[in-house]
Amino acid sequence: MYAVTILCWAGCWWSLGDAFAVSPLFHPLFVVRNNRPASWSYTTELSLAKGNKRSNEPRFESQAPNRTVLETVKGNQSDSSTLESTSPRDAEATKNTTASVRSIPENTPNATVAVSSSPPPPLRKIESSPSPTIPPPRVSSHKPTNVAKNWLYLQSIGAITGRGEFASASQKESVRTVVAALEAVNPTPEPAASPHLLGRWELVFTDTHLFRSSPFFMAARAVCVTDDAVQQFHWFCDMHRRALAISNIRAVRQIIGPTRLTSEFEVRAGAVPFLHDFTPWAYSGGWPITIDGSIVSTADWRLTTNATAASSSSNETNNAMEFYMDTVQIKGSNLPGLRQILDTGNVQLQSRELARWLENTVASYHTPRPVFATTYLDETLRISRDVDGHVFVYVKTSDDTTPTDYSPIDADLGVGRLLEGFNDAVTKFYL
């Protein structure tokens, strides 16, 4: 019963935040290089047969433009020389081309015949050089090759699937396999105690809902202790994402300080998605005006040992953070009027006050302390798992631990930028 109560409270507040910050329901209107590549190769062989025996066969190869290699084999001896000529595609050199064959006496064994164009270009002997090769992809010098490849795969699959939102079951399973391989070679013995953990981390992939990267939802999940309550929580998360289907989830980040974690969940939604319902125009799209906002959750954290089965890491010492949920606030909203109210800081969820009231009212209630395990950590990559074992892959963008400043965002629904863009592209009227 208490779990359902907390879920209802969490859903109401988060939905209220969606409405104020981003939800449209709040709005009243509701190279073909024509040149061949450097590695082209062409072989010409001409044999003079004498009886049933084949003569020596000269072979012409080129590993780069404007270069010819003539290789002659006599018996068991091999003589190789490298020749360089002017461009074979030179218009004047190839004009009125005729074949010419050098005469070879009949009694010469193992005769070799070289075929060339007429007039032949001047040749000079040069030192042979190795074939050009394509350089491998650049990887960080501090990462082993297999780790770099796995990391590149996670980045690619995250980009293809919208950080996992549109990933298929097979894609998620392949990601879990790659993640397990990285966790097995975790280079940081105590990830949660490492200075590499501090900084700004952007979410690039998860096999669950993006908003579950917030400690707010981790705390809501920690309230659920029975199987039925857990099932209800997962259903609530599914319905919550469907309710936000009309919005676009932008940046999802965690900013980790020495004792404080800030989660920023940025969203954008269309202000008027169904224009034809309110105007005589047949155009069924919306105006290029959006409602923007960021739902910012904060929590204190401390080191702990993750003893659950959610972690695939063999190291269980200081590999997790234990959160003590604090506040939920809407920042950076571009709704006029509401923005000024939100910026005062008086309109925010004080979860600790609510938790204390519940503890004093309900004897069996205990404030949830969700655990978030870090199973892989290096200078730029972090893999974490929640209590259900869901994978969260983050990339570090900065060592700065200062939360984002949303004050420069104008509370004008983006109309100012829209008018500036229209003037720059169409009217071009400047004072």
Q: Are residues 162 and 107 in the same domain?
A: no
Identify the pLDDT of residue 171.
95
145 in a domain, yes or no?
yes
Name the least confident of 68-77, 177-186, 190-199: 68-77
41 in a domain, yes or no?
no
In degrees and rounded to multiples of 5, residue 5 shows phi and psi of -60, -45
Identify the pLDDT of residue 236.
95
Q: Are residues 154 and 17 in the same domain?
A: yes
Q: Are residues 87 and 163 in the same domain?
A: no
132 in a domain, yes or no?
no
Identify the pLDDT of residue 281.
59
The fraction of the chain above a pLDDT of 90, given in percent, is 40
60 in a domain, yes or no?
yes
pLDDT tens readout for residues 235-251? 999 999 888 888 899 99
Burial of 360 (0-12, 13-18, 19+ CB in 10 A): exposed
Q: Are residues 173 and 306 in the same domain?
A: yes
Q: How far is CA 298 from CA 135, 189, 214, 217, 223, in A?
A: 45, 27, 9, 12, 18
127-142 burial, b at 16+ Cβ within 10 Å, e below that, comes to eeeeeeeeeeeeeeee
Q: Are residues 417 and 304 in the same domain?
A: yes
58 in a domain, yes or no?
yes
* DSSP 8-state code for residue 127: -
CB 74 within 8 A of CB 57: no
Q: Where is mean pLDDT largest: 38-47, 67-76, 292-301, 416-425? A: 292-301
pLDDT band (50, 70, 90) for residue 200? very high
342-352 burial, b at 16+ Cβ within 10 Å, e below that, comes to bbeeeebbebe
Structure tokens at 383: 């893999």
Q: Are residues 228 and 286 in the same domain?
A: yes
Q: How far is CA 360 from CA 111, 225, 350, in A?
A: 105, 20, 16
Compare 186 and 139 and report the one with higher pLDDT: 186
131 in a domain, yes or no?
no
Compare 420 and 1 and report the one with higher pLDDT: 420
Helix (H) or strand (E) holding 346: none
Q: What is the mean pLDDT of residues 177-206?
A: 95
Q: Are residues 226 and 275 in the same domain?
A: yes
Strands (E), 288-402: 290-304, 320-331, 348-350, 371-377, 381-385, 391-398
pLDDT band (50, 70, 90) for residue 306? low
pLDDT band (50, 70, 90) for residue 287? confident
pLDDT band (50, 70, 90) for residue 169? very high
Identify the pLDDT of residue 307.
52
Identify the pLDDT of residue 275.
56
Q: What is the mean pLDDT of residues 122-140?
A: 45
CB 162 within 8 A of CB 250: no
Q: Are residues 161 and 288 in the same domain?
A: yes
CB 119 within 8 A of CB 86: no
86 in a domain, yes or no?
yes
Identify the pLDDT of residue 43.
39
Q: Are residues 290 and 255 in the same domain?
A: yes
The residue with tokens 């702990």 is 304
Structure tokens at 69: 């290699």
In one-letter notation, the amino acid at residue 414 is G
Compare 280 and 345 and report the one with higher pLDDT: 345
39 in a domain, yes or no?
no
Domains contained in the chain, number:
2
Answer whether residue 393 shows pLDDT above 90.
yes
CB 69 within 8 A of CB 40: no
pLDDT tens readout for residues 366-390? 898 999 999 999 999 999 999 999 9
Domain with 55, as residue range(s), is 47-91+98-112
